Amino acid sequence: MIKIFYRQGEEILLSQSKTEFAAISKENALWIDLLDPTGEEKRAAEAFLGATIQSRAQAEEIESSSRFHEADGIIYANTNFISPTGGEMSMDPVSFMLTKHTLTTLRDIPIRSFDLLTNKIQARPDLYHDGFNVFVEIIDKRVDLDADIVELISQDTSQFSKRINQNEGINEEFLLDINQLQENAMVIRENVVDKQRILGNILKSDLFPDALDKKFSIILQDISSLINHINFTFERLEYLQDTVVGIINLDQNKIMKIFTLISLLFMPATLICSFYGMNVTLPFAEIKLAWVGIFVLMLLMVGAVLIIFKRKKML
């Protein structure tokens, strides 16, 4: 699918046909959004722009250190947009191409940041003079959504902390839940840092308009604050993980302590039983009620061991 946003007088119009390129000048083309485009739609956009749009495979093969580059007066940037999917984070790759007047985006699936912007562009055409304005708005919306995701992770972390304080359901499954939340925090931190690197390079580019420097700098400050928040949340999750491991170890030690104490309590009695169980002549063996005395002796031995344990504060 293709969406073409272009200026016509004071309005910004939307077309979803590649044939519309014939009636639009490059100066009026604001944003070309390619959503899982066909080969014909992609070639039509390339012919209109006079430049090659990166394929999906090319964008995904680019290393994190080379997600931004300039060539022939065009800025190329590639990043991933994150969205929660169940208990994990899905990565949605997006490619940006910025020419003098036009922003071109390439993606595979619908993304909320883009959908939010579609109606706003047509409602407030005075805010969007060229493709750079659209790009800044997309990134601004994306950073806000990333902040919402980080807030959700922070809320889950607080809930986990309450469960630990109340000692509710502290087990191996709970430990795995914390580990998954840590993984989500690492994924979003890596993604936000990636955006910070790309935006920093774009801000230093001579192609980027000076009029947007202030707004772009504010976005970068928001990203820095977001990274600090993620780092704090991750450190808190590590602390919770260590606490849960400690509680589980304490519970296991208590179980082992109980088994050990039971074994020690009955060890003297077991020794007496073993002694009188031998097939030899033993004292008092011929007395009919000798077993009563032996039983009492066994109880006395257990009681003595129990008293010793209590005085040693081992119980």
C-alpha 155/C-alpha 166 separation (Å) is 17
Residues 150 and 292 in one domain: no
Are the CB atoms for 131 and 99 separated by under 8 Å? Answer: yes
Residues 116 and 73 in one domain: yes
Q: What is the pLDDT of residue 111?
A: 80
Residues 28 and 127 in one domain: yes
Are the CB atoms for 61 and 93 separated by under 8 Å? Answer: no
Q: What is the pLDDT of residue 157?
A: 87
pLDDT 10s digit of each residue in the chain, 315 long? 888 888 888 888 888 888 887 888 888 888 888 888 888 888 888 888 888 787 666 555 554 445 777 777 888 888 888 887 777 777 888 888 888 888 888 888 888 778 778 878 877 878 888 888 888 888 888 888 888 888 888 888 888 888 888 877 777 788 888 888 888 888 888 888 888 888 888 888 888 888 888 888 898 899 999 999 989 988 888 888 888 888 778 777 877 877 777 777 777 777 777 766 666 666 666 666 666 777 777 778 778 777 777 777 766
C-alpha 183/C-alpha 174 separation (Å) is 14
User: Residue 20: which domain range?
Assistant: 2-249
> In the chain, how many domains are there?
2
Domain termination site, one of 249, 272, 303: 249
Residues 177 and 72 in one domain: yes
Q: What is the pLDDT of residue 291?
A: 67
Helix (H) / strand (E) containing 83: strand 74-85
Residues 87 and 134 in one domain: yes
- Counting every residue written for the chain, the total comes to 315
Q: What is the pLDDT of residue 283?
A: 67
- Residue 30's identity, in one-letter code, is L
The CATH number given to whatever domain includes residue 258 is 1.20.58
Residues 271 and 165 in one domain: no
Residue 180 burial (10 A CB sphere; 0-12, 13-18, 19+): middle
- Residue 105's identity, in one-letter code, is T
Residues 140 and 207 in one domain: yes
Q: What is the pLDDT of residue 6?
A: 83
Q: What is the pLDDT of residue 60?
A: 55
The CATH number given to whatever domain includes residue 121 is 3.30.460.20
Of the candidates 64, 210, 191, the one whose C-alpha atom is nearest the C-alpha of residue 139 is 191
Are the CB atoms for 107 and 186 separated by under 8 Å? Answer: no
Residues 210 and 295 in one domain: no
pTM recorded for the entire structure: 0.74
Q: What is the pLDDT of residue 55?
A: 66
Q: What end-to-end distance do the CA atoms of the chain give, in Å?
A: 72
Helix (H) / strand (E) containing 206: none
Residues 136 and 109 in one domain: yes
C-alpha 220/C-alpha 212 separation (Å) is 12
